[in-house]
Amino acid sequence: MPSICIDEKKCIGCSLCVRDCPNHCLYLENNKAHVLPSGCIECGHCYAICPALAVQMTAYPAQDTPTVPLSSLDSQVMLEAMRSRRTIRHFTHEEISQEAIRSILEAGRYAPTGGNRQNVAFTLLGSKQQEAETICVKLFRTAKRFGSPFVPFFRQVGITDDFFFKRAPVVQYLQLP
């Protein structure tokens, strides 16, 4: 079953989705877009470019939200946001709401991927977080012991008990297909 479907009542036959599909799994027939039975990589290009909101991604919750054209964003603000963005390694002890976690995971689902695939999965470690940290630290300490004579990084790095997750209140694991 295709990962996307076209609402023929909404489709205006503009062919933007057909021209933009990186895997060429869309075609125009009788002034309506149609989906080939296989080949979709769930990149969301067709969904994002459709001006009529005719494309639905069946594996994801429906959202009749028009895409925001990048030209409508302040390019200087976006540039400064990208320049100043960093990974966080110092955390507070604040509780994180389930709504905030869902929102963050949803943003991750829409983020670009190297293979242009959006069918990634996230797993929150939850109660297994400390166990995972302990296993990772143990493996890394073993690697350091054997690798120090050969890898300068291992000689320089200090491995603490919270070396990987830095006491983050919530840790997620990204699974690629």
Q: Taking the alpha carbons of 15, 19, 21, 25 in that order, is the dihedral positive or negative?
A: positive
Query: Is 168:124 a contact under the CB 8 Å cutoff?
Result: no
* pLDDT per residue as tens digits for the range 61-117: 666 566 667 677 888 888 888 888 777 777 887 888 889 888 888 777 777 666 655
Task: Tell me which residue of 32, 49, 36 sits closest to 2, measured CA to CA.
Answer: 36
Query: Is 46:55 a contact under the CB 8 Å cutoff?
Result: yes
Q: Domains of the chain, with CATH numbers? A: 4-57 (3.30.70.20), 94-177 (no CATH)
Q: How far is CA 64 from CA 41, 50, 58, 130, in A?
A: 21, 11, 13, 40
* pLDDT per residue as tens digits for the range 9-49: 999 999 999 998 888 889 999 999 999 888 888 888 888 88
SS3 label, residue 134? helix
**Is pTM, for the whole model, over 0.85?**
no
Task: Tell me which residue of 46, 7, 6 sits closest to 24, measured CA to CA.
Answer: 46
Task: Tell me which residue of 36, 64, 35, 70 sits closest to 51, measured CA to CA.
Answer: 64
Distance of alpha carbon 3 from alpha carbon 58, whole angstroms:
5
